[in-house]
Amino acid sequence: MTGENSELTISRLIGAAPAKVWRAWSRPEHLAQWWIPHPIECEVVKLDLRPGGGFETRMREGGGAFQPHVEGCFLDVVPERRLVFTTVLAEGWKPIEPWLALTAIITFDAEGQGTRYAARVLHRNPAESRKHDEMGFQEGWGTAIDQLAAFVRRLD
């Protein structure tokens, strides 16, 4: 985060082609393996990769019941290039009141033999961006990206 900005960014080079990284993002059974930092478990409820499509994941820790994690709506989907989702809308553009309002722009850019995976996360204002940052944005999103990189190494 820079100054009084309302966005957070993170980027990593993943040692796999964009098509492989996209596959790990675009299949529910794959996304569930890396989307939330371990040991927390992830359940993918919706992953409708089209504008207006729903995106919903739930999480659980220690074998308890699954709890809400992310509910949102995809705004833009360009396979193997970009995903944009927001938590202020649910499937079908329905307005909702999220626990954390954000729009995430995730890009998959070919770089050498790998993929530059980057997330730009927009918030309503600098205060909400700071709150997200203080909640551990870099650590949480960074851990998930590291898990994604490890997961794609295991994909055929």
**What is the per-residue pLDDT for 117?**
98
Length of the chain: 156
- Is 107 within the bounds of a domain? yes
**What is the per-residue pLDDT for 2?**
43
- Is 1 within the bounds of a domain? no
Looking up residue 72, the CATH number of its domain turns out to be 3.30.530.20
**What is the per-residue pLDDT for 3?**
45
**Could you give the number of structural domains in the chain?**
1
- Is 2 within the bounds of a domain? no
Structural domain range at position 112: 7-154
**What is the per-residue pLDDT for 1?**
40
pLDDT digits (tens), the chain, 156 positions: 444 699 999 999 999 999 999 999 999 999 999 999 999 999 999 999 999 999 999 999 998 999 999 999 999 999 999 999 999 999 999 999 998 999 999 999 999 999 999 999 999 999 999 999 999 999 999 999 999 999 999 997
- Is 58 within the bounds of a domain? yes
Tokens in use for 40?
């927390």
**What is the per-residue pLDDT for 156?**
75
- Is 25 within the bounds of a domain? yes
- Is 88 within the bounds of a domain? yes
**What is the per-residue pLDDT for 63?**
87
- Is 143 within the bounds of a domain? yes
The answer to whether 62 and 86 are in contact (CB under 8 A) is: no
